[in-house]
Structure 1
Amino acid sequence: MKCFFAIWIPVLLFANAVFSQEMITHKVERGETITEIAKKYQVTPYDIYKLNPDAQDKLKPRMKLLIPSKSGLTVAAAQAQIAHKVLPKETLYGIEKKYAISDADLKKANPFLETDGLQIGQTLVIPSKNKATLQKAIYHDVQPKETKYSIAKKYGITIAELERKNPEIIPNLTIGYHLLIKGNPSKNESTLQKEAASVSVKKYNTYQVKPKETLYSLSKMFDLSQDELVKLNPELKNGVEIGMLLKVPANTSFPAIQENKVYADLSPKNVGGRKKIALLLPFNVSRVEGDTVNSMTERLKKDKFLNMTLDFYAGALMAIDSAKTLGLPIDVSIYDSEETKYNSNAAAIINTNKLQTADALIGPFYQNNAEATARLLSSYNVPVISPLSKDSGNPIANLYQTVPSNDVLKTAMFDYMRSKRGNVVAVVDRKKSSMNLYLAQNQPDVKLVALNENGNISAESLRNTLVTGRMNYVLMETASIWMVKTTIAAMLSVMPDYQVQLVVLEPNDALDSDEIKFSNLVKLKLMYPSVTRDNTSPERIAFENKFRKQNFISPSDYATRGFDVTFDTMMRLMQNKSFEDTVNTTATEQFENKFEYYKKDGMGYANKGVYILYYDTDLTEKTAN
């Protein structure tokens, strides 16, 4: 029952907010589509999905949909609008030129153009040139974390138009400010605006730029658009430099995850005394010895989890051997954690071997067991390093997640594309409703490429979302081989006119199909976020040769991770400061893994060390700069 209320209370609160706006109810007729309904009411399909999440699965006859009312124009203004039926060979540019209107105004009056593109037979609403005089005044109160860009995008206007109507915000946008969005205010309203502007006093602090910070990361940190930051600091027009002193809003809070740490090789310091590390690895020896059916050879063939454990162990042994070679004063103990998904014997190992005095523990493998171990040692402040779990986990002060979560990977990819001033568009399979929801909630500025009746895209629908003079990143989310082929074909066809690059957020089996030409993926420089990278440095080759000599096989990803996690942990303990202090100040890069920890909301640390990889023209994977 508690679960029921937990689910429905937010829904009811949302419904309250929705019904406070003007709404239209539409009863779905047999055969109607979301696109047709959106066109009828001059809204976007996303507007309808936002109010009717169930509609994403399937429209049913007699289903009632909530449609947001398209308000703002008076009756006179509506009558002043012109209807235009799209003829063959007409383009958006030609129509806009014919009626002397801007692209933004045409798309604002016809929201379906953003999703469906221009199609023969469409009836377009052509807004009257003098509609501004016919509009009621529309206002917006600035909310925390809003920017000029987000507000302008919300109302379909440019930042320049927003600033022209509200010149007081040119230096900076202030929370709570009453913005004029459209129309002309009455005399009394104008007076109130001026009084509000005179009360608003801007205060600033000075911020010193740190290594690896970019204009994009700084704008995110201070909740400003890049244009706003440059206006406050004109010297940024020449680029961001380490040590530069910037004028920034005084009331800004800096989230820990946005902080950029210095990547460095941690050379050992004189720590005065030996360090003690324990590895809790799930060998499950008692289970293996009790298996009377399978021989050890047969078990190794079948048991992937045991193989993973042994690979990690082999890599960790290489790291321990490297520490000995360097003469590091570290004592390492290795224990069998005897794990299932929800249980381990970690508590018994800790008590029997007095691991409350250890300087760090690596393991157990399963998230639940790592969390239980961290809780046992939290009062002793012993760092517990979770080596393989991707789960975000519960907030525990001494728990360190070494594998970046899927959300961190996605965020890193979008951060990279924005840092390059890219135009990001998305091709999303209708079956991937979770991706549509993710984009709506976390990346609302990403444009969706319109799909045709067969659920694929055309070159024309792709062109309608692209911009010239910038890289257009085309994010593709589908498991359909045919949709992959049509997306690639559309991208290749626009390459003479636009810069385009194909992007995926996670491994996609459809790309491995024999029907997908690898040469096309290379042409489109397929790009994706990754926890690991290929490393061909002399040190990495030496490691691989030594591992092969000792184990008669090449190191797997788990073996390399065993080395990277163990060696990174040992080197952090050799710094004359606590493990947590090194995590807060320094990021590291080992053979295949990065360790850039950040403090999660509440307690505990997670890793945001992610590589952005792409297929280069020499047919190899490269790390994007």
Structure 2
Amino acid sequence: MKYFFAIYMTAFLFTTTVFSQGKMITHKIEKGETINQIAQKYKVTPFDIYQLNPDAQRGLVPNGTLLIPNKSTAKILTQQPKESAQPQTHEVVAKETLYGIEKKYGVSDQELKKANPSIEKDGLQIGQILVIPSKNSSKTTTAIQEKVVYHDVLAKETKYSIAKQYGITIEELEKRNPEIVANLPIGYKLLIKGNAPKAVKAIEQVESKKEILKTNTLKTSAAIDYADYEVKPKETLYSLSKMFGLSQEELVALNPQLKDGVEIGMVLKVPSKALVTTNVKKEYASLSKKISEGNRKRMVLLLPFNVSKIEEDTVNSTTERLKKDKFLNMTLDFYSGALMAIDSAKVLGLPVDVEIYDSQETKNSSNVAAIVRDNKLELADAVVGPFYQSNAETTAQLLSATNVPVISPLSKDIGNPYANLFQTIPTVEVVRNTVFDYMRANKGNIIAVVDRKKESVIKYIQQYQKDVRFVAFKENGSVSAESLKSMLVKDRMNYVVMETGNTGMVKATIAAMVSSMAMYQVQLVILEPNETLDTDEINFSNLTKLKLMYPSVTRDNQSPEALVFKNKYRKLNNISSSDFATRGFDVTFDTLLRLSQDKSFEETANAIGTVQVDNKFEYYKKEDGGYTNKGVFVLYYDTDLIIKEAK
């Protein structure tokens, strides 16, 4: 009852100040209704409903009541600025953009930013109150043609990052530049704002790096804060420029002392945002040795058991469903590992209480909003789950006001950035970068044999690993052994990155490397699993001779501690632990340990990396929001046929 009383009081106070001349309509919420459906029914916007019912942003309660402005009320709201010089205000809701707000109120980008200077520095924030300039004060400026803004596409940029940079949506960006719907070429001149003719063609090279800096608002000197960075051993001008997202020329321009070379201990001036996302290795620690004796923490698991679907299934028995439903089996495996983690936490005396809820999720729906509302998850210290990326993002959004960490346990999608969302699965780019960083740290000579069909790999190396040289092919498309051998150097490890599924190309590359071992140090590297290497046509002994190396999110851990887990799991479940079971243990136990420290989950994520049974957790804050995991193993086959971690 207090909930509805608060809604009515808020609505009443708002009505007396803004809608005093109109009447309200009440709407009884039916089960399954959404804000968009209700808004369409009454021909108002979701924003209008949220203004009168702010608590509705947390989710709709069946049989609850909403206040709806009628058409005349809406007119009063839009006409008021003409009658008064007092500025109108707007509360930013999720997924709104500058462009959408400007269009809604008929103001220009310049006017809105002038009235709200914080937008330039911090961008839009959910819940932020914006001052909307009155139309009286904007009559002279709205007649002026909007300034045309272009943006030259740089390496590593995406449609999402560019759209976010200028406060527009991807759809708006593609509408202004229909040529980029299929792909986004480097150097393409995008029309961001204004009505200039769009006779813009893709260019092969950007005219000058100085011009890039002028068009890229993220890199203008007026908008950038700088921080100091101390050069570590084995770092080079190339690795530093890559680390901070700058060209070598830009880094030298900021730090003229680099003209004389890079020295250990040298203090560099770098963009502070770049410093947040660098690959500087975190301290790895065993958190079980630092248990806090403070207040108890609360952790929540949101797992998709989908019990209601099982109960409603009149065709299949539970046993039959378990045989067919792979998603259910994956969930139960993860759950079994999580239960072992909770049991281990009890043995260690970790001060954390755990709650488990059925998220009832599919790829496009879940019960998350109701769980958050009914169980006050905004007071939790961390939430693990849901499984699907879209549902994890919804959870993060619902809990963003209290900054509750939401740990996404299984999704590989990059998704939308939320400050409180932690992705535990490293991205493909992070996995690839890890092995290249390892090879450079060991001062290796890196060459690549890449099948012409592997366009994405070729593009990745050309854009992000520019010092890597490609082995030439013969006219018939086969590998040139002479070209490969001519690129090898003495007194350094020669890493040969091989990306092809062609058996002939694989055999030729391996043969050329094996025949070079008498004179050169060589090691074979792959970036992702290669089924061709598992066939009978490939001599496995040659792979061990070349110490085949590859990056991996997981490892096959045979340490005494790992064997204790595996043996205990087998004893409890009469089956060996699957990858999902081990991941359920690792993600849950890592979260429990981080919550048991005298710091918050976010503070431990910023400071400490951990290694559990088969997974690493090395969180880094992303520049556009949220956290990514850069915990990746570099593994290799040793001559004793055992897979080991490269150190």
Is 1:355 aligned to residue 526 of structure 2?
Answer: no
Instruction: Give the secondary-structure state (helix, strand or coil) at the position aligned to 2:355.
Output: strand
Match of 1:261 in 2: 282
* Cα distance between partner residues in 2 of 1:359 and 1:527: 39
- Give 1:247 deviation, angstroms: 4.1
- Give 1:399 deviation, angstroms: 0.4
Query: Which of 402, 411, 414 lines up with 1:380 in the alignment?
Result: 402
Query: Which of 265, 268, 272 lines up with 1:248 in the alignment?
Result: 268
Match of 1:624 in 2: 646
Q: 1:24-423, aligned counterparts within 5 Å?
A: 208=230, 214-216=234-236, 220-221=242-243, 231=260, 236=264, 245-249=265-269, 254-266=275-287, 267-423=289-445
Q: 1:306 to 1:13 in 2, by over 3 A?
A: closer
Could you give the per-residue CA deviations for residues 46-67 of structure 1, whole angstroms, max 9, x where no partner exists? xxxx989xxxxxxxxxxxxxxx
Given that 1:614 and 1:622 are in contact with CA atoms closer than 8 Å, whether structure 2 keeps it comes out as yes
Is 1:520 aligned to residue 542 of structure 2?
Answer: yes
Q: 1:496 to 1:51 in 2, by over 3 A?
A: farther
Q: Which amino acid aligns with 1:389?
A: S
* Cα distance between partner residues in 2 of 1:251 and 1:366: 34
- RMSD over equivalenced CA pairs, Å: 3.2
Q: Gaps (5+ residues) in structure 1?
A: 18-49, 53-67, 69-138, 146-174, 176-203, 237-244
- Give 1:278 deviation, angstroms: 0.9
Instruction: Give the secondary-structure state (helix, strand or coil) at the position aligned to 1:215.
Output: coil
- Give 1:606 deviation, angstroms: 0.7
Q: 1:435-454, aligned counterparts within 5 Å?
A: 435-454=457-476
Could you give the per-residue CA deviations for residues 499-527 of structure 1, whole angstroms, max 9, x where no partner exists? 22111111111111121121111111111
Q: 1:247 to 1:301 in 2, by over 3 A?
A: same
Given that 1:268 and 1:328 are in contact with CA atoms closer than 8 Å, whether structure 2 keeps it comes out as no
Query: Which of 595, 601, 624 lines up with 2:617 in the alignment?
Result: 595
- Give 1:8 deviation, angstroms: 2.2
- Give 1:430 deviation, angstroms: 1.6
Is 1:585 aligned to residue 617 of structure 2?
Answer: no
Instruction: Give the secondary-structure state (helix, strand or coil) at the position aligned to 1:410.
Output: helix
Instruction: Give the secondary-structure state (helix, strand or coil) at the position aligned to 2:323.
Output: helix
Instruction: Give the secondary-structure state (helix, strand or coil) at the position aligned to 2:275.
Output: coil
Q: Which amino acid aligns with 1:475?
A: V
* Cα distance between partner residues in 2 of 1:393 and 1:503: 29
- Give 1:12 deviation, angstroms: 9.4
TM-score w.r.t. the length of structure 1 is 0.65
Match of 2:448 in 1: 426
- Give 1:292 deviation, angstroms: 3.0
Given that 2:276 and 2:620 are in contact with CA atoms closer than 8 Å, whether structure 1 keeps it comes out as no
Query: Which of 525, 528, 532 lines up with 1:503 in the alignment?
Result: 525
% identical equivalent positions? 59
Given that 1:219 and 1:229 are in contact with CA atoms closer than 8 Å, whether structure 2 keeps it comes out as no
TM-score w.r.t. the length of structure 2 is 0.63
* Cα distance between partner residues in 2 of 1:230 and 1:558: 50
Q: 1:490-569, aligned counterparts within 5 Å?
A: 490-569=512-591
Could you give the per-residue CA deviations for residues 540-572 of structure 1, whole angstroms, max 9, x where no partner exists? 111111111110111111111111111111111
- Give 1:231 deviation, angstroms: 5.0
Q: 1:7 to 1:446 in 2, by over 3 A?
A: farther
* Cα distance between partner residues in 1 of 2:186 and 2:576: 56
* Cα distance between partner residues in 1 of 2:373 and 2:270: 50
Q: 1:144 to 1:14 in 2, by over 3 A?
A: closer
Instruction: Give the secondary-structure state (helix, strand or coil) at the position aligned to 1:364.
Output: coil
Q: Which amino acid aligns with 1:581?
A: E
Given that 2:400 and 2:420 are in contact with CA atoms closer than 8 Å, whether structure 1 keeps it comes out as yes
- Give 1:434 deviation, angstroms: 1.7
Instruction: Give the secondary-structure state (helix, strand or coil) at the position aligned to 2:524.
Output: strand
Is 1:575 aligned to residue 629 of structure 2?
Answer: no
* Cα distance between partner residues in 1 of 2:644 and 2:486: 30
- Give 1:373 deviation, angstroms: 0.8
- Give 1:322 deviation, angstroms: 0.7
* Cα distance between partner residues in 2 of 1:400 and 1:371: 10
Q: 1:464 to 1:380 in 2, by over 3 A?
A: same
| Matched residue count | 441
- Give 1:381 deviation, angstroms: 1.1
- Give 1:426 deviation, angstroms: 1.1
Query: Which of 173, 177, 189 lines up with 1:6 in the alignment?
Result: 177
Match of 1:22 in 2: none
Match of 2:485 in 1: 463
- Give 1:378 deviation, angstroms: 0.5
Instruction: Give the secondary-structure state (helix, strand or coil) at the position aligned to 2:497.
Output: strand
Q: 1:346 to 1:425 in 2, by over 3 A?
A: same
* Cα distance between partner residues in 1 of 2:613 and 2:502: 35
Could you give the per-residue CA deviations for residues 114-156 of structure 1, whole angstroms, max 9, x where no partner exists? xxxxxxxxxxxxxxxxxxxxxxxxx9988999xxxxxxxxxxx
Query: Which structure exhibits the higher relative contact order, with contacts defined as CA atoms closer than 8 Å and separated by 6 or more residues?
Result: 1
Q: 1:352 to 1:481 in 2, by over 3 A?
A: same
Q: 1:464 to 1:254 in 2, by over 3 A?
A: same
* Cα distance between partner residues in 1 of 2:380 and 2:276: 31
* Cα distance between partner residues in 2 of 1:271 and 1:208: 36
Given that 2:304 and 2:359 are in contact with CA atoms closer than 8 Å, whether structure 1 keeps it comes out as yes
- Give 1:468 deviation, angstroms: 2.1
* Cα distance between partner residues in 2 of 1:587 and 1:550: 30
